[in-house]
Amino acid sequence: MGIETKFQKTMNQYKGLPREIYIIFISRMVNAMGAFVWPLMTLLLTKKIGLSEAETGFYIMLPGLFYGIASLIGGKLADAFGRKIVIVVLNLMAVLLYVICGFIEPSMTTYYLILGAGFCYGMADPAHGALIADLTTPENRDAAYALSYMGFNLGFAIGPAIGGWLFERYLNWFFWGDAATAFVAILLLMIFVKETIHLTKEDVSEGRELEKSEEGTILGVLKKRPILIYFALVLFGYNFVYSQWGFMVPLHTDQIFADGAKWYGALASFNGFVVIACTPLMTFALHQFKTINRIVIGGTLYFIGFGMLIFTTNLIGFFIAIGIFTLGEIAVTVNSMPFIANHTPASHRGRMNSILPIIMGTGYTISPYVMGNVLEKVSITTAWTYVCGVMLVYVVFMFILGKYDSRQKEKLKLETA
């Protein structure tokens, strides 16, 4: 197969998707172009508000604790009232809070307003995942989630670099720019995407028995599908490591380079460009592997990429390390949500997209606090060795889970034969 033919085959997977998926792609791209605040939260708390590394770790952990509550509320709302209405109302509330931040001096009040915006976004998150699942089938779901992911990163390739510049010079526009792009993204969904909750009432096709709507609570569904709990627990460890992309990496760049915020913004933009360029290629290269094995490969790339930071002291090394880590991010992100959607009843998508991210996101939440305290006692290079040790353990767990998944699928085939 020639290079041109391979490229065409790789890109063809994104053709023929529902129109709404392309709107979601554009919406996420626009939103991410103004994603200034969260990527630079560590530096906002340390350089503008004046907190220590340990204090910063705690205050970055705090939104994650509230996210769990927000996600549970939002998941229930999405299944009860609809996906679109939840996304629009809650995101507009978050935009308003960001606008207010631009009018006040940096202080803990700023932080609490950002925390409130994060709570609103947290409530809306389960509806986003449920919306894509409603619009797709197992045949095109991987491509739909991958396209949404690329849309975010297409914008994110630009956003943090602009955000780093605004952070140093025009802090009010740092907040207002984020709010403006988020508002435009909301308008796109309001105008071009219809409500999808009615689709959960439709019968599913053969081979999608796990997506058939069910009565009962989310806990009852999880009891029947324990693999989802196991999967979330393993991704807890993955997210513990991934969290260092937003915590230890900016601290590390600030230690080594002048204008650390600028260089971290450049690394974040590079991360976005790698995602844009390599997501179709990674999807094509890994398509012959089972879903969980793709995530094992992603975790291995996390291990290698972050492991390089133990030894790297120059900018080129940082870019190479982040490039390798980003390939792992693609493999993990593109395959995680389709795996969950394919194992979830349509009637419980909102709630499943709330409760599992709480488990998975706890790793992301506690990691800055844990590693912030570790950094009070050891050097940042030593701390990276601890992070890589955690990653290696959870890669092994994901590999074992893949074997378990294969056995469960064989059992299901025998029961339905």
Q: What is the pLDDT of residues 30-68, one digit of tens each?
A: 988 887 888 788 888 888 888 887 888 788 878 877 877
Q: Which domain holds residue 319?
A: 17-197+224-416
Query: Does residue 219 sit within a domain?
Result: no
Query: Does residue 74 sit within a domain?
Result: yes
Query: Does residue 253 sit within a domain?
Result: yes
Query: Does residue 6 sit within a domain?
Result: no
Query: Does residue 207 sit within a domain?
Result: no
pLDDT tier, 285 (very low <50, low <70, confident <90, very high otherwise): confident
Query: Does residue 3 sit within a domain?
Result: no
Q: Indicate whether 7 pLDDT > 70.
A: no
Predicted confidence at residue 79, as pLDDT, reads 86
Q: Give the number of other CB atoms < 10 A from CB of residue 139.
A: 10
For residue range 106-120, what is the model confidence (pLDDT) as tens digits?
889 999 999 999 899
Distance in Å from the first CA to the final CA of the chain: 37
Q: Indicate whether 20 pLDDT > 70.
A: yes
Report the percent of the chain where pLDDT is more than 90: 35
Quick one: tokens of 305?
Answer: 């990429």
Contacts 24+ apart (CB under 8 A), 275-279: 275/149, 275/150, 275/153, 275/156, 275/157, 275/326, 275/329, 275/330, 276/150, 276/153, 276/154, 276/157, 278/326, 278/327, 278/330, 279/146, 279/149, 279/150, 279/153, 279/330, 279/334
By the 8 A CB rule, do 181 and 30 touch? yes
Rounded distance between C-alpha atoms, residue 371 and residue 40, angstroms: 17
Q: Indicate whether 412 pLDDT > 70.
A: no
- Residue spans of alpha helices (H) in 82-158: 83-101, 108-135, 138-156
Predicted confidence at residue 238, as pLDDT, reads 96
Residue with tokens 């790789």: 10
- Determine the Cα angle at 319 with ends 318 and 323, to 5°: 115
Torsion, Cα of 152, 155, 156, 161 (10° steps): -170
Q: Indicate whether 156 pLDDT > 80.
A: no
**Domains contained in the chain, number:** 1
What is the sign of the dihedral through the CA atoms of 183, 188, 190 and 191?
Answer: positive
By the 8 A CB rule, do 2 and 132 touch? no
pLDDT average, residue stretch 206-217: 69
Q: Indicate whether 210 pLDDT > 80.
A: no
DSSP letter, residue 49? S
Query: Does residue 409 sit within a domain?
Result: yes
3 state SS of 257: coil
pLDDT higher for 322 or 348?
A: 322
The CATH number linked to 39 is 1.20.1250.20
Query: Does residue 37 sit within a domain?
Result: yes
Least confident of 38-42, 334-338, 371-375: 38-42
